[in-house]
Amino acid sequence: MNNISTLTHSTAFEVRYPPLAEGRELAFPCDDGGHVDMNRLSKRALSDYLYARALVGRMFGLPQVRSVQ
């Protein structure tokens, strides 16, 4: 399963949180440095983003910044 949380606007980069075990990957729009504008996230996406950040090393691997072109 590959569920991805996103914003409603497009950006050139996204930060991805891969699952450590079977589960969903989370991805969020960001700048080229991996900085996410949390004020522009929906409530659900913000909740998912904070969840992924808090569980790096437990449920999610290290975040990776990728171009989305």
Q: List the one residue out of 29, 33, 40 whose CA is nearest residue 4.
A: 29
pLDDT tens-digit readout, 7-65 = 444 569 999 999 999 889 999 999 999 999 999 999 999 999 999 999 999 999 999 99
| Sequence ranges of the domains in the chain | 13-67
CA 62 to each of CA 10, 39, 41, 43, 48: distance values in angstroms, whole numbers, following the listed order: 23, 23, 21, 23, 15
pTM of the model: 0.80
pLDDT tens-digit readout, 15-25 = 999 999 988 99
SS3 50: helix
Strand extents, DSSP E, 1-69 = 13-17, 26-30, 64-67
